[in-house]
Amino acid sequence: MPRQPAPVPAPAPAPRSRRGLRVAAAVLLGGALLATAVPAARADHVPEEDFGAVPPAEGYTVTSVSQVSLGVQHLVLERGSGPVVAHVARIRPEVGVRVRAVLSNDLVAGDGTRRETTSSMCRRTSCALAVNADYFDRDGRPEGPFVSDGELITTPEDGTVPLMFDAAGRPIMDHLPWSVSLAAAGRQLSLDAVNRAPADGEITLFTPRYGPSTDTPEDTLELVLDLGQPGPDTPPGGTPVRIRELRTGGDAGYATTQAVLAARGPEAAATVQGLYAAAAGGQGGDGLMVVDTGGIVEAVGGRPGLLLGGRYLFWPDNPAEQVQTPAPRTLVGWTADGTMLWVAVDGRRPGHSSGVTLPEATQLLVSLGAVEGINLDGGGSTTFVVGGGVQNRPSDSAGERPVSNALVVLPPSVASQRLAGQTRFDTAVVASRQLYPNGAPVAVLASGENFPDALAGAVLAARAGGPLLLIRRDEVPGIVASELRRLGVRQIALLGGLAAISQKVESELTFVLPGGVVRISGPDRYSTSAFVSSAAFPGGSQVAYLATGRTFPDALAASAGAAGQPGPVLLVDGDRPADAVVAELGRLGASRLVVVGGEGAVPQALVDRVAGGRAVERIAGADRYETAGRVTERFGPMVPQAVVATGQAFPDALSGASVAARAGLPLLLVPGTCVGSAAMAEADRRGTQQLFLMGGTAALGSGVERLVPCP
The number of angstroms, rounded, from the C-alpha of 635 to the middle of its chain's C-alpha atoms is 24
Per-residue pLDDT tens for 414-463?
Answer: 899 999 999 999 999 999 999 999 999 999 999 999 888 888 888 999 99
3-state helix, strand, coil in the chain (%, to 5): 25, 30, 45
Mean pLDDT of the chain: 89
Per-residue pLDDT tens for 51-82?
Answer: 999 999 999 999 999 999 999 999 999 999 88
Whole-angstrom CA distances from 533 to 258, 287, 461, 543, 589 are 72, 78, 11, 12, 12
Per-residue pLDDT tens for 6-24?
Answer: 332 333 333 322 222 222 2
Q: Which conformational region is residue 387 in: left (phi greater than 0), alpha (psi within -120 to 50 degrees), or beta?
A: left
- The better pLDDT of the pair 650, 404 is held by 404
- The better pLDDT of the pair 685, 159 is held by 685
Q: How confident is the model at residue 113 (pLDDT cuts 50, 70, 90)?
A: low
Q: How far apart are CA 392 and CA 380, in angstroms?
A: 11
* High-pLDDT (> 90) share of the chain, %: 73
135, pLDDT greater than 70: yes
216, pLDDT greater than 50: yes
Per-residue pLDDT tens for 601-626?
Answer: 999 999 999 999 999 999 999 999 99
Asked if 400 and 119 count as a contact pair (C-beta separation under 8 A), the reply is yes
Residue 93 burial by Cβ neighbours in a 10 Å radius (0-12, 13-18, 19+): buried
pLDDT of residue 342: 98
Per-residue pLDDT tens for 459-512?
Answer: 999 999 999 999 999 999 999 999 999 999 999 999 999 999 999 999 999 999
pLDDT of residue 42: 37
174, pLDDT greater than 50: yes
pLDDT of residue 455: 82
pLDDT of residue 638: 78
pLDDT of residue 328: 98
Q: Is residue 75 classed as helix, strand or coil in its secondary structure?
A: strand
Average pLDDT over residues 82-86: 96
Per-residue pLDDT tens for 649-703?
Answer: 888 888 888 898 888 888 899 998 989 889 999 889 888 889 999 999 989 998 8
Q: How far apart are CA 665 and CA 691, in angstroms?
A: 10
Which residues neighbour 278 within 8 Å (Cβ) at sequence distance 6 or greater? 185, 186, 187
Q: Which of 587, 540, 600, 543 is nearest to 569 (CA)?
A: 543
Average pLDDT over residues 248-274: 96
Per-residue pLDDT tens for 267-279?
Answer: 999 999 999 999 9
3-state helix/strand/coil string of 578-642: CHHHHHHHHHHCCCEEEEECCCCCCCHHHHHHHHCCCEEEEECCCCHHHHHHHHHHHHCCCCCEE
pLDDT of residue 93: 81
pLDDT of residue 655: 87
pLDDT of residue 413: 83
Integer distance in angstroms from the first to the last C-alpha of the chain? Answer: 31
Per-residue pLDDT tens for 354-378?
Answer: 999 999 999 999 999 999 999 999 9
Q: How far apart are CA 584 and CA 595, in angstroms?
A: 16
Per-residue pLDDT tens for 512-555?
Answer: 999 999 999 999 999 999 999 999 999 999 999 999 999 988 99
pLDDT of residue 15: 31
pTM: 0.80
Which residues neighbour 588 within 8 Å (Cβ) at sequence distance 6 or greater? 533, 537, 540, 541, 544, 568
The number of angstroms, rounded, from the C-alpha of 592 to the middle of its chain's C-alpha atoms is 37
Whole-angstrom CA distances from 698 to 49, 471, 652, 655 are 60, 21, 11, 16
Q: Is the previous residue joined to 56 through a cis bond, with omega within 30 degrees of 0?
A: no
Q: Which of 546, 408, 395, 535 is nearest to 460 (CA)?
A: 535
Average pLDDT over residues 325-332: 98
